[in-house]
Amino acid sequence: MSKDNQVLEEFTSKEYEHGWTIDLESDSAPKGLNEDIIRFISAKKSEPEWLLEWRLKAYRHWTTMKEPKWPNVHYPEINFQDIIYYSAPKQKVVPKSLDEVDPELIATFKKLGISLTEQKRLTGIAVDAVIDSVSVATTFKEKLGELGIIFCSFSEAVREHPELVKKYLGSVVPPNDNYYAALNSAVFTDGSFCYIPKGVKCPMELSTYFRINAANTGQFERTLIVAEEASYVSYLEGCTAPMRDENQLHAAVVELYAMKSAEIKYSTVQNWYPGDKNGKGGIYNFVTKRGICAGDHSKISWTQVETGSSITWKYPSCILKGDYSSGEFYSVAVTNNYQQADTGTKMIHIGKHTRSRIVSKGISAGKSQNSYRGQVHILKRAENARNFSQCDSLLMGDQCGAHTFPYIDVENKSAHVEHEATTSKIGEDQIFYCQQRGIDEEAAVALIVNGYAKEVLKQLPMEFAVEAQKLLALTLEGSVG
């Protein structure tokens, strides 16, 4: 076996690190989905009447919809009645500060490497942690509060800031947008809410950790970020789940709303359990993420490192409505074993002089299938719009597949749209060149993969880049120090 095959072999046989479970006593709804379950969830969370109505409307619409079949992924039909839609770690009272949080929970996060208290001291990132369906802790709230920034769990936002939630909820991803968005709108249990007031630059990275812990549950969280005029926020999201033989569903919705001259940077390191070597178990990650650049000169930037999930179905998109607004999408998607990913972005250019940039890097190994699916749509009134897209695929091994489905629709003659895609494996000449310079084969593979993904990784905030590199180092395992 040649050395780079060994590297591949090691990567392919590498076990999932976050596969443990912790016995957290949880409070769950019965399996299945109907209007009563939705009422149950809503009552559990002491929600106002309008939100219950909103959920029910979404649910009724969902029942009329069909599961989308167009993605390039294959999986057995999901039985939506076999899922627990609400599961919360049991807590006697709502914790006021971190000291009151269940020590088991704290231990959970320690294991994840995001000790909430340590995080607070050392890195200065505000974290909102969501286990199963409920947000369990949010750090740094008071400090952010001084600047007028609201960063809290979604349920809290519904209680404390109903006017904001009511105004923006569903404004970017309407409840009837697609099958999974409708499902999420009906049953979403928690998530994060973030509001940056006018002119405020958020001084620290905001971050959410999602964790599915209980068995048979689905996780349906919702994130809503509103950035007022001339504000700035950088937001991080990370996710893990235990190893279980059955597939679990994760259907989240993320909405970003950027006003005039505001900037939102949203980074994800997605590491849901991808299933075992034989493709058993793993998370179905069916997520709707969309941001709107509502005001002129606003900017939304998505960065994602996708390494987990047995199936990923996710298209973080930008609606570029304001003139001179810009959207960015940087993605590294790694699939291995029997993982399937169908991911990409949509850039909808509505405003004049709007710009967008797409850089997508796919790496497929094992028997996995990795697809890029994206759309660049220049509408008629979008004068002088500009887009550049690049989507590259790297194949490792001869049993995986890489696919590209870019849609480019231009209705304005002044648009400049460029798209390029390549598919290749690591070139023998590239390895030879490195070897010739005294770099051994393993290190050469590591170097090349690293360089290949660098354009995206460098977009991540420093704190996250470390984690992402660690994750990606799975690929490079055994070859770097």
Partner 1 sequence: MSVTTEKKNFTQELIASFDLSKFKQDSEQRKKALAAFQSLGLPEGKSEEYKFTPITKLLAKQFKAEELYTSPTPAVSDVSALIPKAFQENCVVFVNGVYNPALSQLAAGSKVVIKPFQEAMATHASVISEKLNEIKDNNDPFALLNAAMWQDGLFIHVPKNTSGEKPLFIYHLHDANASKVTSHTRLMVVVEQSAEFSIVERTDSLGKNTIFNTINEEILVDENASFSYCKIQNDSGDLIHVSNTTVHQKKSSRADTYTFSLDGKLIRNNLNIIIDGEGCESHFYGLYLTDGDTLVDNHTVVDHKQPNSFSNELYKGLMDGKSKGVFNGKIFVRPHAQKTNAFQSNRNILLSDDATINTKPQLEIWADDVKCSHGCTTGQLDDEALFYLQSRGIPKATAKAMLLYAFAGEVLEAIKDENLKQYIDSIVSERLHKSF
Q: Which residues bind partner 1 (CB under 8 A)?
A: 70, 380, 393, 395-425
| Residue where the block lists tokens 């299938």 | 369
The answer to whether the CB of 325 falls within 8 A of the CB of 353 is no
Measured in degrees and rounded to the nearest 5, phi and psi for residue 96 equal -90, -40
Q: Between 121 and 413, whose beta carbon lies closer to partner 1?
A: 413
Q: Which of 190, 222, 221 is nearest to 46 (CA)?
A: 190
Q: Between 87 and 389, whose beta carbon lies closer to partner 1?
A: 389
We find the least distance from the C-beta atom of residue 419 to partner 1, in angstroms, to be 4
The contacts of residue 379 (CB under 8 Å, 6+ apart) are 348, 349, 350, 411, 412
The answer to whether the CB of 332 falls within 8 A of the CB of 453 is yes
Q: Between 97 and 424, whose beta carbon lies closer to partner 1?
A: 424
In the chain, count H helices and then E strands: 12, 24
Length of the chain: 481
We find the least distance from the C-beta atom of residue 421 to partner 1, in angstroms, to be 5
We find the least distance from the C-beta atom of residue 401 to partner 1, in angstroms, to be 4
Lookup: tokens for 121: 């001291």
Q: Between 21 and 390, whose beta carbon lies closer to partner 1?
A: 390
Q: Which of 424, 365, 350, 429 is nearest to 398 (CA)?
A: 365
We find the least distance from the C-beta atom of residue 362 to partner 1, in angstroms, to be 10
The contacts of residue 427 (CB under 8 Å, 6+ apart) are none
Kindly give the interhelix angle for 462-476 and 3-13, rounded to the nearest 10 degrees: 120
Q: Between 63 and 399, whose beta carbon lies closer to partner 1?
A: 399
Q: Between 218 and 327, whose beta carbon lies closer to partner 1?
A: 327
**What whole-number distance in Å separates Cα of residue 434 and Cα of residue 231?**
45
Q: Between 92 and 413, whose beta carbon lies closer to partner 1?
A: 413
**What whole-number distance in Å separates Cα of residue 439 and Cα of residue 444?**
6
Tell me which amino acid residue 403 is: H
Q: Which of 291, 398, 276, 416 is nearest to 347 (CA)?
A: 291
Q: Between 142 and 428, whose beta carbon lies closer to partner 1?
A: 428
Lookup: tokens for 266: 């949203």
We find the least distance from the C-beta atom of residue 403 to partner 1, in angstroms, to be 5
| Residue where the block lists tokens 């029942």 | 63
We find the least distance from the C-beta atom of residue 386 to partner 1, in angstroms, to be 10
**What whole-number distance in Å separates Cα of residue 421 and Cα of residue 9?**
27
We find the least distance from the C-beta atom of residue 365 to partner 1, in angstroms, to be 9
Q: Between 124 and 406, whose beta carbon lies closer to partner 1?
A: 406
Lookup: tokens for 459: 């977009």
**What whole-number distance in Å separates Cα of residue 176 and Cα of residue 180?**
9
We find the least distance from the C-beta atom of residue 111 to partner 1, in angstroms, to be 36
Q: Between 65 and 421, whose beta carbon lies closer to partner 1?
A: 421
Tell me which amino acid residue 481 is: G
We find the least distance from the C-beta atom of residue 191 to partner 1, in angstroms, to be 32
Q: Which of helix, strand or coil describes residue 319?
A: strand
We find the least distance from the C-beta atom of residue 432 to partner 1, in angstroms, to be 15
